[in-house]
Structure formats: structure tokens, C-alpha cells
Amino acid sequence: MAGLDHYKMAMDPALVKLGNMTTNRYKYFRWTKRTAGVTLIYAVIVPGIIGTLAYWNDGLWDFRAKRKGDIIRER
């Protein structure tokens, strides 16, 4: 046991390739119809839907200080 280098590990080629790909992704990115659509969905549409639902339900539900038999809905 003494004198062995236990801290050295063999690098997995697939993990090295994945690391290099994620590090250099910005160099090879191109705007295509698909990437523009995905960006639009995740940057505009999904937050818009969540914001609209939050606006409609703002103040509608009150979960604090309710007792048995009280209704949850305020309006």
C-alpha cells in the first residue's frame, strides 16, 4: 500500500469528449429555426404563462390561519 499513487485515475475518453464539447459549445452554436423556436418558448412563452397564472390567482387563495370548516377561497 505504501508508495502507490491512489489519487491518479484513468480518464474516460467519453467524459473528456463531453467536457470539451460543453466547454467549446459557444464556438459552434448557430441560430437555426429550431434553436430560435426553443429559445422563444423558454424565454418568452413559458414565463408568460406562469406570470399570467400567477396574476389571475393573486390573492385568490389564502392558506394562512384557516380552521377546520373554513373555506379556502377568499372571493
**Where along the chain do its domains lie?**
30-75
Q: How many angstroms separate the CA atoms of 38 and 45, rounded?
A: 10
The pLDDT of residue 73 is 73
The pLDDT of residue 2 is 59
Q: Tell me which residue of 21, 41, 45, 25 sits closest to 33, measured CA to CA.
A: 41
- pLDDT greater than 80 at residue 14: yes
If pLDDT is split at 50, 70 and 90, which confidence band does 6 have? low
The pLDDT of residue 67 is 77
Q: What are phi and psi of 73, to 5 degrees?
A: -75, 135
Q: How many angstroms separate the CA atoms of 31 and 23, rounded?
A: 18
For the stretch 27-43, pLDDT in tens is 989 999 999 999 999 99
Q: Is 74 within 8 Å of 60 (Cβ atoms)?
A: yes
